[in-house]
Each structure stands twice: as structure tokens, then as C-alpha cells.
Structure 1
Amino acid sequence: MDSRELVAWNMRRLRVERKLSQEKLAELAAVDRTYVSRLERMMENPSIGILDKVATALSVSIAELFVPPAQDEARPKPLKAGRRPSSAS
């Protein structure tokens, strides 16, 4: 697995674990939602600055984005489609 694939894998894994949509992660990281999508699909080569913003938004160190998955770890599944319920409800 190359670095871009590791970043994509871990971004999605961490985002899904935290139940964040791509839109919410983008908002927290101050980047465009389509850029988050492109990172997760390995279509972009992010700068260190972008990786730092994403890691901070996910509350992890930048190194966490480069941790290889366990041999038997399943690919992270996407969140269920649709709008998330408001936490103010």
C-alpha cells in the first residue's frame, strides 16, 4: 500500500469511526468537501498542510494517517447516505 492509499484508507476509517460526513470533515478542516472526497478516492496528492488540517479535524496526529491497516482489516464502509440528524433535536 503506497502513502496516498494509506492516507485515503485512514481518512475514511477515522471519519467513519467518528460518524463524520465528508461535508462535516471538510468544514472542520477548512477544505472543500469535494477535496475530501478526492483524497479518499486517491485522486489528489495532499500537502503536509492539508494533512495537518485533516488530522487536527479528526483529533489525531498526522502520523495516524500513515498507519498501515492490520492484515485482516476490512476496508472502511461508507456512512449511510442521507442527512444526519441534528444534535439539537
Structure 2
Amino acid sequence: MAIELSFAKVLKSVRIKRKMSQEELAFRSDLDRTYISMLERGIHQPTIASLFALSKALNMKPSDMIRLVEIEIGEVDDRE
């Protein structure tokens, strides 16, 4: 699966798990709701600044979000 689609799936999954709307996530991360929508559809990829803003709004570390994407695309190294 392409990285942008994996990120999209992870972002939407975490947002829904946190019982947050796209609008609320946009407000908390100071990003536009349409940008959140495009991220969740795999149309755009986040910048590092956006990744940090989204992670903070979702109460998680950016590295944890990246780890979830790694798991989604199957690129997890079992040696860690």
C-alpha cells in the first residue's frame, strides 16, 4: 500500500478512535478541515509541521503515528 494511503488510513482511524470530527481535529491542530479531509483520502501528504500539529491534537507522539504507518505498510523491523 502506498505511504500516503497508509497515512490516510492511520489518521482517520486514530481520529475516529479519539471520537473526534475532522472539524475538531482541524481546530485543535490549527489546520484547515479540507486539508484534514485530503490527508484522510490520501490526496495530500503532511509536512513535518503538520504531522507534529496533528499528533499533538490527537494526544500522541509524532513517532507513534509514524510507527502506526510503518505497521500499516508492513515495514516494521522485528529486531527493535
Check whether TM > 0.5: yes
Give the number of the structure whose residues are more often helix, by fraction.
2
Query: What stretches of structure 1 of length at least 5 have no aligned partner?
Result: 72-89
TM-score (norm 1): 0.71
TM-score (norm 2): 0.79
Q: Which residue of 1 aligns with 2:12?
A: 12
- 8 A Cα contact 1:6 1:65, kept in partner: no
Question: 3-state DSSP class of the match of 1:46?
Answer: coil
CA shift digits 1:58-87 (9 cap, x unpaired): 011112223124x9xxxxxxxxxxxxxxxx
Counterpart Cα distance in 2 of 1:23 and 1:33: 5
Q: Which residue of 1 aligns with 2:39?
A: 39
Paired letter, 2:34: T
CA shift digits 1:4-43 (9 cap, x unpaired): 1222111111100111000000000000000000000001
Query: What stretches of structure 2 of length at least 5 have no aligned partner?
Result: 75-80
Q: What CA RMSD, in Å, does the superposition of the two structures yield over aligned residues? A: 1.5
**Matched residues, number:** 70
* Percent of aligned positions that are identical: 33
